[in-house]
Amino acid sequence: MKSCFILIRWASVAALLLCCAEIAAAQETPVPAGAASTKDVQQAAIAAAPSLRLTLEDAIARARKNSTQFQAAQTEAAIAHQDRYQAAAALLPSVTYNNQALYTQLKNNNVIFIANNAAHEYVSQANVHESIDLASISAFRRASAAAALAKARAEIASRGLVVTVVQSYYAVAAAHLKLEAARKNGDEGDSFLKLTQDLEKGGEVAHSDVIKAELQMQERRRQLLEAQLGLLNARLDFAVLIFPDFNDNFELAEDLHASVPLPTLVEVQQRAARDNPDLRAALAAVQQAGHEVTGARAGYLPSLSFDYFYGIDATRFAVNNENGFSNLGTSALATVNIPIWNWGATQSRIKQAELRRTQAQRELSLAQRKLLAEIKSLYAEADTALSELSGLSRSAELSAESLRLTTLRYRGGEATVLEVVDAQTTFAQANAAYQDGALRYRVALANLQTLTGVLTTP
């Protein structure tokens, strides 16, 4: 009986322990999707979703859809195109339909106003109107030049956006490579600290070497944290540039160190002379200012207009009059307006337009000079970056080999701790310079694209 009581007691204790274990397991188990908050579900979905693989062309296309400045330039170009359409439509005949009902006071059974034909007069006519004057023609040409100017400015905004995307795109790639190098340096610092500690235990090096190795290890860890922060900021800046909503779940498809040829200087000069948007914008501005001068001078010339009417102008609103005859008829009107005197307003407008044209010509000359200078400057920048890139690559390889050999010499007692630290620092600096050099060359190529309109890709 006593043994039965003991068994029952032990069974109760086991059941209690099993219950506690189930509670603990339930606390460690993830919360079901139905019970989680919306934010948690969204974050989990983003984390579980496959990362988006972006090429440079994809990034540029997304940035064009997302950039407010680029879309504003496109909108201005579209508005200018509609202005040109409206100016062209103003040169063509217009058709309107007019309806009037006129009541005129009678005096001694006579109509008081000369222009009216009866006490009750009804007008319902279609009017075809055409106006011919130099000002309208100049307005159309000016609108055409303004449309070309807006289109060129939109192209300038597009090419500037490409440079920004290229710089941000490859900045992410460079930051990623710098982070990998920082991790490698951190591992090297940890290994070197362990090596000095082992050598100190064997009595082969002084404790000062261990201190120096630990200081170097701490410095490498700080550099690793900075590299992580740099990559995070680069990814965030890039995500803000190309995504309409926040999304950092992406990876880059382009290789920062892929071989990209540099076009010849002659090719760059030919493309820039043909496709440079700054030069096209300056030329369009000069043309627009010239048409403004012509339009202002048109104020001295007569203007001619024609009107053709078809409809009724009768005492009753009907197709036929009281006698059964048709009220429908036609009439034509030609008007010539000759300007005589407006207190010098026309001369003032001409002076304004001439001042604008002179300034536009100055800006065209400046754009031409700047284009020649920018071709040589940006090409020299790209050529220099490309020339330095091979040297930076070689320096990174040599610094890695130097670090390996110096560490082996230190292990054999042939090198000092300062030599190892110096080799580690040199390796870190050479690797960072190599990544920065590759980024510099890519940005230089993108800057050439602002002149030629062609983005050089692998």
Residues 308 and 373 in one domain: no
Q: 109 lies in which domain range?
A: 94-132+302-338
2 lies in some domain? no
Residue 163 has pLDDT above 80, yes or no: yes
**Predicted local distance difference test score (pLDDT) of residue 49:** 60
Closest C-alpha to 402, from 437, 431, 443, 374: 431
31 lies in some domain? no
390 lies in some domain? yes
Residues 243 and 366 in one domain: yes
Residues 174 and 276 in one domain: yes
Residues 60 and 165 in one domain: yes
Residues 400 and 257 in one domain: yes
**Domain finish residue from 319, 338, 357:** 338
Give just the sign of the alpha carbon dihedral 384, 390, 396, 401: negative
Residues 206 and 58 in one domain: yes
- Chain mean pLDDT for the chain: 85
Residue 81 has pLDDT above 90, yes or no: yes
pTM recorded for the entire structure: 0.75
Residue 8 has pLDDT above 80, yes or no: no
Domain at 384, CATH number? 1.20.1600.10
Residues 190 and 271 in one domain: yes
Torsion on CA atoms 176, 178, 179, 181, rounded to nearest 10: 130
Residue 96 has pLDDT above 50, yes or no: yes
Residues 325 and 393 in one domain: no
**Predicted local distance difference test score (pLDDT) of residue 41:** 47
- The stretch 191-202 carries a mean pLDDT of 86
Q: Confidence band (pLDDT; 50, 70, 90) for 381?
A: very high
Residues 362 and 308 in one domain: no
pLDDT digits (tens, 9 = 90+) for 251-280: 998 888 888 889 899 999 888 888 889 999
Q: How far apart are the first and last CA of the chain?
A: 89
pLDDT digits (tens, 9 = 90+) for 331-377: 999 999 999 999 999 999 999 999 999 999 999 999 999 999 999 99
432 lies in some domain? yes
- The stretch 105-119 carries a mean pLDDT of 73
- The stretch 78-91 carries a mean pLDDT of 94
Residues 128 and 138 in one domain: no
Residues 6 or more apart whose Cβ sits within 8 Å of residue 221: 186, 189
**Predicted local distance difference test score (pLDDT) of residue 44:** 52
39 lies in some domain? no
Residues 100 and 243 in one domain: no
CB 145 within 8 A of CB 331: no
Separation of alpha carbons 32 and 35, rounded Å:
5
Separation of alpha carbons 196 and 12, rounded Å:
58
Residue 191 has pLDDT above 50, yes or no: yes
244 lies in some domain? yes
pLDDT digits (tens, 9 = 90+) for 289-338: 999 999 999 999 999 999 999 999 888 888 888 888 888 999 999 999 99
Residues 224 and 200 in one domain: yes
Separation of alpha carbons 124 and 64, rounded Å:
53
Q: What domain count does the chain have? A: 2
Residue 458 has pLDDT above 70, yes or no: no
Identify any residues that bridge with 53 across adjacent strands, giving them in sequence order: 251
108 lies in some domain? yes
